[in-house]
Chains A and B, each alone.
Chain A
Amino acid sequence: MTALVSGLARQHTVLLVDDDEHVLHALVRVLRHQPYQLATARSGEEAMWLLKIRPVDVMVVDEHMPGMSGTELLAWAAKNCPEVMRIVLTGHATVETAVRAINDGGVYHFFTKPCDDVQLALTIRKALEHKDLLQENRRLLAMLEQAHNSCHDK
């Protein structure tokens, strides 16, 4: 993993969370050419730890994991690092899972296994763009506010 490029052009990071190592390896293989860094976690707990120590832009989470479930992780993330875009990739696609993921986890997209790698890559890209736009939006708003405030101060 190369060092982050400074400034706005810093490289994005995508966190893949799945208890099955094969899935993680395979995803890393098919996504290796994508213009972002890939980080992996083999459990919800590991993912939480990672989210705390490094910036993450998009997380792709499996639902069914021993220990902390995907939904719980997403709910935690929605509360503690809401700026991280959340995508579900699960083999246990039940209505309840989907409902909880959307309501508690506020997910951006919901994939069922098996999913097409191209579709997944595309969605991650879109999520990143979405996030960047949001961030830009926020930055511009802050600038506007600052300008506004400085106008008033004078």
Chain B
Amino acid sequence: MTSAPIQGLPDAQSERTAQLALMIDDLAAANRRLEEEILLRQAAEESLRELSCELVNRIRQMDCLEAISELLQEPEFSEDLFLQKVITILPAAWQFPDIACARLILEDKQYATSNFQETLWRLSAPVIVDGGLCGALDVCYLREPVTDSPGPFLRGERTLIHSVAERIGKLIEQTRAEGRIKALKRLIELVLGATNTGLTIVDADFNVVYVDPATEKLRGACAGKKCHEHFCPDGGGCPTCHVAEALRTKKPMVREVADGADSQRVFQVTSTPFQDEQGRWLVAHVSADITQRKAAEEKREKMLLRQQGVSRLQRSLLGPGTLEEKLKSITEAVVNLFEADFCRIWVIRPGDLCQQGCIHAEVHEGPHVCRHRERCLHLVASSGRYTHIDGQVHRRVPFGCYKIGRVAADQDTKFLTNDAANDPRVHNRQWARELGLVSFAGYRIHVTGGETLGVLALFAARPLSDDEDAMLEGLSSTAARVIWQAALDEALRQSQHDLAQAQRLEAIGQLAAGIAHEINTPIQYIGDNLRFFREAFGTIADLFAKGQQFLEALKQEGGPAELIRNVESAVRHSDMEFLLDEIPKAIEQSIEGVERVSSIVRAMKEFSHPAGAEFKSVDLNRAIQNTLTISRNEWKYVADLVTDLDPELPPVQCLPNEINQVILNLVVNAAQAIAKAVEDGLRSRGTITLRSRREGDWARIDVEDTGTGIPEAIRPRIFDHFFTTKEVGKGTGQGLSIARAIVVKKHGGTITFQTEVGRGTVFTVRLPLTDKPRPVQPEPPKAFPSPEFVI
């Protein structure tokens, strides 16, 4: 160290002085440094104090923020509670917590500390949500704080309130977004549930990321498991795995999957690959239960096929074919289109096998006694398991008995059971059970408004739906139309036949009239000539007597003996006595014969009067006589004829030809019945009695025979068209049906009969004498005790 020398002092001194001066300088400098240091230190201390104060504030603020963060972690998080708590803890973060209060206004809500007051010493911050002002956060001091700071609030506090307000804004944003997501999720799940749709999200490692609640409920919790553990029971890694496939192609793929306990449910699964926000590839499987749709489609398709089948059937039914063929095609269609086990059609017709081994005719007690003989159900078509129609039991079914007969008798309009094996109404349940038949249906075949024509019935190994029921009922109506059409055709054929018959009769009538005219001319001169012979022979006989007298006289007076002998010999040879006796007789008989011929011709002419289409007054007795004359050949070999005709019988207004035909038919029938009786050895010869009477306003004709009688079984049918018991060639089976048509339909009369097997039959025809006859209690002829059959 060097120092400047002080003046006047020796060197030593001076040196000392200098040294001292130096030392003083040093000390002064040190002092100055010290002072500076103290100042620095004071400043540092001040700064440190300030810093530590700020640090305390900061810590308070940090605590507050941390407390808010903690609040967010609470498990039972709710926005309201959270905000309230935030407000409650907020004052503690302020420099003077004792006088601090806080409030949050958020749209229509307000959260505040209990001591909150708006004062002059207020710190505010806006709450911004989604970029818009949503509310305000206020912190107030209840009185002016004592502080040396420039304002009541610290800088850090300003920052804090903004930070908290911002946090609150963010939080609200977040909770709102979460709420929206939650709502969206709920909506999606709602939609999934409502549409019966399942949603599963699987990641690339086959981990199940999401399962909708319905699926989860169905399959158990599966979040976090591998998808194939749940959805592919065979295990994962299958080469056709649609997860892998969708991830590979990055395109949605759609498949149909049969699923469920017995694979009865069908799902349509759409697998859509997508990336989440982190860029991970996921696959969303949306599965829709299309079982019902599928079933509906199949049903629709089946229905369509059926409709087509039915249309085809109906077209074919319009074509040619016999009734039996057409009904068979209906039963075939029922079996093919409705998967029936078998189907049959019965048609109501008169009983025909009652005497020929029909087993139902033998039943005499119980619910299945065949009470109708005039009609029963004839099996005409059968398809499916059974195709024959001649089975002992089913070829005929009694009207009103069993399911089918009851339907036919309109006791049940239809019969449908889907429990054939147990339904007590089904007669043979055991059999149905053995064959696995589930349903039985029987439908009345009838035309709307018309009578029942028959029954269509089927058994099926599956239940019949309402739709099928309706369609089958429709097919029964089709069958009805077919039968009805056949009946109309038959009626048409019949009427054509009748017309042809009538035309033939008219032609025969005209021919007969023509022949009669032709015969009349020769009869005229044969008769004239015979009468001339008769007269002339009388003259010749007289002359001969005279000659004889002359010969006698000549002999006595002795005339030429030779001549007399010759004459006598010639007379002897000519057998003159015989001739004289017989020639008149021969002539008389010839005259009689000619008269008979002329009467036959007259009867024939009257009988076959060609202009018979109008009503005329007819003497029935004469009609009877004429008929007997021309039909003589029919009866004369087997029967005697008795007529008992009422001479007082007034003329009847009728169609003469037709009434003649009725009498003829009845007489011919009577003759044939007697012929049969003769053939059967019942008697050698019979009697036909024709009676005419007046009964009040009615004229009555009885035709009685002593023939075989009519067996009970066929009595209801004898007036049916083409019904005949006669051998081929003997009768067309039309006589009685024509007779009935003429009497009942054309004349408003009645035709009835009484019969007794082995004794004979009386047919009674009644014709009205006036337009509106009073009905008489018909007095039956007393021939037989049996009741009268009114037809």
Interface on A for B, CB 8 Å cutoff? 20, 22-23, 25-27, 29-30, 64, 89, 91-92, 112-115, 117
Contact = CB atoms under 8 A, between A and B. Distances in A.
Contact of B528 (A29, A91, A92): A29
A23 B525 contact: yes
Interface in B515-540: 517-529, 531-532, 535
Contacts of A25: 525, 529
B598 A114 contact: yes
B520 A91 contact: yes
A23 B527 CA distance: 10
A117 B521 contact: no
Interface of B is mostly: helix
B531 A113 contact: no
A34 B429 CA distance: 102
Contacts of B518: 91
Given A113-B520, A114-B598, 19 more contacts: A20-B521, A20-B525, A22-B525, A23-B525, A23-B528, A25-B525, A25-B529, A26-B524, A26-B532, A27-B528, A29-B529, A30-B531, A30-B535, A91-B518, A91-B520, A112-B520, A117-B527, A117-B528, A117-B531
B486 interface: no
B594 interface: yes
Nearest to A92: B517
B616 to A, nearest CB: 12
A22 B518 CA distance: 14
Given A64-B517, A91-B517, A92-B517, A113 B528 contact: no
Contacts of B523: 113-114
A58 to B, nearest CB: 18
Contacts of B522: 22
A75 B518 CA distance: 24
Given A114-B594, A114-B598, A23 B532 contact: no
Nearest to B525: A26
Nearest to B520: A91
A91 B524 contact: yes
Interface string B492-531: 0000000000000000000000000111111111111101
B517 A114 contact: no
Contact of A115 (B517, B524, B532, B594): B524
Nearest to A118: B531
Nearest to B523: A114
Nearest to A120: B528
A89 B523 CA distance: 13
Contacts, number: 50
Contacts of A64: 517
Contacts of A112: 520
Contacts of A115: 524
B647 to A, nearest CB: 25
A113 B529 CA distance: 14
A83 B225 CA distance: 141
A107 B13 CA distance: 224
Most chain A C-beta atoms within 10 Å of own C-beta, residue among B517, B526, B531: B517
A38 B127 CA distance: 159
Nearest to A29: B532
Contacts of A92: 517
Given A64-B517, A114-B520, A115-B524, A26 B594 contact: no
A23 B524 contact: yes
Contacts of A29: 528-529, 532
Contacts of B531: 30, 117
Contacts of B524: 23, 26, 89, 91, 113-115
A92 B601 CA distance: 12
Most chain A C-beta atoms within 10 Å of own C-beta, residue among B518, B528, B594, B598: B528
Most chain B C-beta atoms within 10 Å of own C-beta, residue among A30, A64, A113: A113
B527 A114 contact: yes
Contacts of A22: 522, 525
27 contacts: A20-B521, A22-B522, A22-B525, A23-B524, A26-B526, A26-B532, A27-B525, A27-B528, A29-B528, A29-B532, A30-B531, A30-B532, A30-B535, A89-B524, A91-B518, A91-B519, A91-B521, A92-B517, A112-B520, A113-B520, A113-B521, A113-B523, A114-B520, A114-B524, A115-B524, A117-B527, A117-B528
Interface in B560-595: 594
Contacts of A113: 520-521, 523-524
A49 to B, nearest CB: 24
Interface string B539-552: 00000000000000
A91 B515 CA distance: 10
Contacts of B526: 26
A115 B525 CA distance: 10
A23 B521 contact: yes
A113 B528 CA distance: 11
A124 to B, nearest CB: 14
Contacts of B532: 26, 29-30
B194 to A, nearest CB: 96
A143 B535 CA distance: 45
B610 to A, nearest CB: 9
A91 B521 CA distance: 6
Nearest to B513: A94
Interface in B587-639: 594, 598
A13 B537 CA distance: 27
B637 to A, nearest CB: 29
Nearest to B532: A29
Contacts of B598: 114
Nearest to A116: B527
Nearest to A19: B521
Contacts of A117: 527-528, 531
A26 B517 contact: no
A22 B523 CA distance: 11
Most chain B C-beta atoms within 10 Å of own C-beta, residue among A27, A29, A114: A114
B431 to A, nearest CB: 75
B521 A30 contact: no
B530 to A, nearest CB: 9
A20 B518 CA distance: 11
Contacts of A89: 524
Interface string B150-164: 000000000000000
A28 to B, nearest CB: 9
A89 B525 CA distance: 12
Contacts of A114: 520, 523-524, 527, 594, 598
A114 B599 CA distance: 10
Most chain A C-beta atoms within 10 Å of own C-beta, residue among B517, B521, B598: B521
Interface in B111-140: none
A92 B519 CA distance: 10
Would you list the 10 A-B pairs with minimal beta carbon distance, nearest first?
A91-B520, A26-B528, A26-B525, A29-B532, A113-B520, A113-B524, A22-B525, A114-B523, A114-B524, A91-B521
A91 B519 CA distance: 8
B447 to A, nearest CB: 48
Nearest to A21: B525
B617 to A, nearest CB: 15
A26 B517 CA distance: 18
Most chain A C-beta atoms within 10 Å of own C-beta, residue among B522, B524, B525, B535: B524
